[in-house]
Structure formats: structure tokens, C-alpha cells
């Protein structure tokens, strides 16, 4: 196989004819495939069916508390211990709340606006401008959350070992820069893990804003698919470097047990946990302790949780392999694109030839393959190169992932040839 760059114009035209004919064949199949969102598959969800219907011999008591009644905000001792173990922090650093970590992130930002964070001089609603750093490509919901508060988003290059620290150090000198969105492990969508050096540099930042928030979305902390990767304990690193109140680490069990019916937690300094707990005391009498109880009984401890995640990995692995092997076979020899080969998380990040991503997504949609819109992984939905496509292979069946990737490969070739011929 020759690379497209070495094709003559006539060879390209001939190839486009072949590709169009393949594309039409897929069109005739009236497919309905979806590689858009990082959702667990039904098989993965089945792994946690035992979550409901626990052995009820203990009469709904956890730590001596009847979990069916009111009270205990921020997590029962056993729940805080379980998540402290999973995140490798201390139980006093843990705040347990709600069914989704996105909600905890939103509520933290909302409280920053209405009341201010612990070290804020005034509520963010009383500031003229709030800016947030966005390592990109990144998680679209982080960006949309920020935009919903009219924040100004500042893209920062995300490199193989984490965000570009030179850029960040310069940017945090402005007091209007109030935080940064990080997915430090198996990042969404790149699948990269921040290096120790980058984590240390983040911990050593000296932001002008005293209430600068290091939003550390540890969504994939125990979510390896191939090999595990490790990140330093950011709470400890920041404390050692005089930034104890800077990091807020988030996780949930949405991709461990049931999506949207998990336990969400954040870990931060004891001071931050106390401060947020006090404010949350006006918001709720408590989150669902029944769900805490079910999760503590089901997941037990870190070791057991990690073992449970290996069952997820066994289901996810062939799907990742199906995408990667097809890209390797169909696209790599043409030398027209590159993509991530992540060890964990939920995504493969694909970089098409510049200015073809939107067209590839359009071509896929037309024959019944839904993809995350091109640009969605960038602030303001704007990929400067129109190149990145996020591939989420977790939800469809293996057969559908295979077929979907075949379709995708044809659409990549189609759009690339169009571009080369234009």
C-alpha cells in the first residue's frame, strides 16, 4: 500500500471512486451505529447487578446509622474510608455527595459564584471576568459547565505528559484566571496520563488568584483497559508546596457500578471539605445513604474495587483492539492521520488530516454512524485544525464496534481524498 501523499492525481481520483463505491454499500445497509459517548455497555452494567438486593441481615445499619433515615451529610465513615482508599487520600479529605461527580463540580463552581471558595476575596459573581484554563482537547462537559457561567475559556495545549506548563505559568499570573480543568489519568479524550514532573509543576504554581481551583477530575482512577498508569497524590504534592487548598479531586462510580446511580466524591484539604460541607448544609439534609450503604457492601475495599474493574477491562479490551487494529491496517499505511493508543479510560482520540474532521463526521452520520461532533473536545467547540475526532467504543457490541470502525475508515479515506483533490 502506498501513502496518499505519493499518489498521482489520477490515482487519487481512482481511489476516490473505489472509496465512494464502498461508502454507498454501507449506505445501503441502513446502519444505526453510535460511537459518541463514553457509556458503559449493558454487559458492563450486568457486572454490578448485585448492587441492589444486598444481604439485609444488618438491618440497614452502616456505622450504626440507619441509612433509611435523614442525616449525616458528606458521607458515612465507611463510605469515606472506601473512597479514601480508592483515591489514596485520608478519610478527612473526602466529601461524599450525590450520584454524579459532574454535579459536585458544578456545585463547587456555583458556590464559588454565590458565596466564594474558602480563600476567595468575594463571590465570583462580583468579579468582572472569570477565566478558566482548558487543556485541550478535553472533556466537553467541563467546558460547557464553565461557559454556562459565562467564564472565558483559555485553551492550553495538552501534550503527551500533560498540559503545557510554560503556558500555564504565564497565564496564572492574571488574578482573573481562577482555575483549570484537568483529567490527569487516561484523559478524556487523549487517554494520556500526566507525568510526575507535570503534577509537581502544577503543585508548585503560584497563581495570582488566592482561590485558584485545580479541578482534578480523576474520573478514570481505577479504569485501566490494558496496563495501569499511576499519578502522584496531588493533595499531598500541593500541601508540600504550600498549595493545600488548591486541588479538588473528583471521582464517581458511574463507570464502576451504574452510570448515573453511582457515588460521587471529591477529595480536598480538610479546610475545603469543612467549608463546602457547611455551605452544603443549607442545600440538603444529606445525599442518599442507602446508595452509600449499597456501594460499601458491594465494592468493599480498594482491592475488591480494582478486581471488579478488571472485569470491566476484559469487556472493553476487545473493543479498543477492534478500533486500533482497523486503524492500523486501513489508515496507518496511508500516512494521513494519527491517533492515541491509550492504556485506559473510555476514548481513542483520532487526528485526521487538518480540515477534514467535520467532513468525516458528516459522512459517517449520513450512513448511520453517529460520532461526537468534530470540535466538541475544544473550548467553544472550536478545533483550530478541524482535525480531532473522539471515538468512544465502550457502548456498542463488539460486532458493532468492528462495523462502525470499518465505516469510519472509509469515511476518513473519502474526506482525505476530497481534501487532497480540492
User: Site residues (CB under 8 A) for its own copies?
Assistant: 37, 39-40, 42, 45, 48-49, 52-54, 56, 60, 66-71, 98-100, 102-103, 106-107, 110, 113-115, 123, 125-126, 141, 144-145, 148-149, 254, 258-261, 279, 282-291, 294
Q: Which is nearer to its own copies, 116 or 191 (CB)?
A: 116
CB of 46 to its own copies, least distance (A): 9
Name beta bridge partners: 34. Answer: 370
Question: Least Å distance between CB 126 and its own copies?
Answer: 7
All residues at 6 or more sequence positions from 359 whose CB lies less than 8 Å from its CB, including other chains: 415, 418, 419
Collect all residues with Cβ–Cβ distance below 8 Å to 32 and sequence separation of at least 6.
368
Least separation in angstroms between residue 345's CB and its own copies is 16
Other beta carbons less than 10 A from residue 27's beta carbon: 14
Check residue 407 and give left, alpha or beta (phi > 0: left; psi -120 to 50: alpha).
Answer: alpha
If the CB atoms of residues 39 and 185 are measured against its own copies, the closer one turns out to be 39
Query: How near is the Cβ of 212 to its own copies at its closest, in Å?
Result: 20
CB of 197 to its own copies, least distance (A): 33
| Residue 54 vs 77, nearer CB to its own copies | 54
Q: Given the complex with its own copies, which of 39 and 413 has the nearer CB atom?
A: 39
Contact 215, 179 (CB under 8 A): yes
d(CA 99, CA 97) in angstroms, rounded, equals 7
Q: How far is the CB of 143 from its own copies (least distance, A)?
A: 10
Nearest to 154 by CA among 142, 136, 169: 136
- Per-state percent for the chain, helix, strand, coil, to nearest 5: 45, 15, 40
Q: CA dihedral in degrees (180, 181, 185, 189; nearest 10)?
A: -140
**Least distance in angstroms from the C-beta of 338 to its own copies:** 29
Q: Closer to its own copies by CB, 111 or 185: give it.
A: 111
| Among 123, 98, 73, residue whose Cα is nearest residue 282 | 73
Nearer to its own copies, 260 or 271 (CB): 260
For its own copies, which is the closer residue by CB, 17 or 61?
Answer: 61
Amino acid at each position: 500500500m502506498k501513502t496518499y501523499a505519493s499518489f498521482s492525481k489520477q490515482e487519487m481520483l481512482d481511489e476516490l471512486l473505489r472509496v465512494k463505491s464502498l461508502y454507498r454499500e454501507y449506505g445501503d445497509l441502513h446502519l444505526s451505529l453510535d460511537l459518541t459517548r463514553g457509556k458503559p455497555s449493558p454487559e458492563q452494567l450486568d457486572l454490578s447487578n448485585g448492587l441492589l438486593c444486598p444481604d439485609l441481615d444488618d438491618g440497614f445499619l452502616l456505622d450504626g446509622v440507619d441509612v433509611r433515615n435523614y442525616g449525616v451529610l458528606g458521607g458515612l465513615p465507611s463510605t469515606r474510608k472506601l473512597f479514601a482508599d480508592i483515591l489514596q487520600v485520608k478519610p478527612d479529605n473526602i466529601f461524599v455527595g450525590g450520584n454524579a461527580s459532574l454535579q459536585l463540580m458544578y456545585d463547587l463552581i456555583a458556590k464559588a459564584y454565590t458565596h466564594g471558595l474558602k480563600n476567595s476575596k468575594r463571590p465570583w459573581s462580583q468579579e468582572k471576568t472569570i477565566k478558566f484554563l482548558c487543556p485541550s482537547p478535553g472533556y466537553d462537559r467541563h467546558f460547557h459547565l464553565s461557559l454556562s457561567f459565562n467564564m472565558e475559556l483559555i485553551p492550553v495545549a495538552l501534550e503527551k505528559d500533560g498540559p503545557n506548563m510554560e503556558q500555564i505559568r504565564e497565564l496564572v499570573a492574571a488574578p482573573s484566571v481562577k482555575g483549570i480543568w484537568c483529567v490527569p489519568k487516561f484523559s478524556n479524550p487523549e487517554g494520556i496520563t500526566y507525568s510526575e514532573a507535570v503534577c509537581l509543576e502544577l503543585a508548585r504554581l503560584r497563581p495570582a488568584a488566592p482561590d485558584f481551583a485545580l479541578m482534578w477530575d480523576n474520573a478514570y482512577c481505577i479504569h485501566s483497559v490494558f496496563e495501569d498508569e499511576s499519578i502522584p497524590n496531588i493533595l499531598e504534592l500541593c500541601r508540600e508546596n504550600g498549595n493545600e487548598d488548591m486541588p479538588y479531586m473528583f471521582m464517581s462510580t458511574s463507570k464502576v457500578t451504574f452510570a448515573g446511580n453511582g457515588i460521587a466524591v471529591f477529595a480536598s484539604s480538610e479546610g475545603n471539605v469543612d467549608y463546602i460541607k457547611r455551605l452544603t448544609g443549607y442545600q440538603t439534609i444529606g445525599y442518599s445513604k442507602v446508595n452509600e450503604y449499597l456501594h460499601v457492601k458491594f465494592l468493599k475495599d480498594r482491592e475488591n474495587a480494582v478486581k471488579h474493574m478488571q472485569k470491566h477491562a476484559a469487556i472493553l479490551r476487545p473493543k479498543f483492539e477492534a478500533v486500533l487494529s482497523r486503524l492500523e491496517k486501513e489508515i496507518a499505511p496511508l500516512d494521513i492521520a494519527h491517533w492515541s493508543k491509550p492504556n485506559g479510560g473510555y476514548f481513542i482520540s483520532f487526528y485526521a488530516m487538518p480540515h477534514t474532521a467535520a467532513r468525516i463526521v458528516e459522512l459517517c452520520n449520513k450512513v448511520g454512524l453517529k460520532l461526537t461532533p468534530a470540535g466538541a473536545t475544544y473550548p467553544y467547540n472550536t478545533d483550530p485544525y478541524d482535525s480531532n475526532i473522539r471515538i468512544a467504543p465502550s457502548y456498542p457490541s463488539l460486532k458493532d464496534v468492528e462495523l462502525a470502525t470499518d465505516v469510519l475508515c472509509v469515511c476518513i479515506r473519502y474526506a482525505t481524498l476530497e481534501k487532497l483533490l480540492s
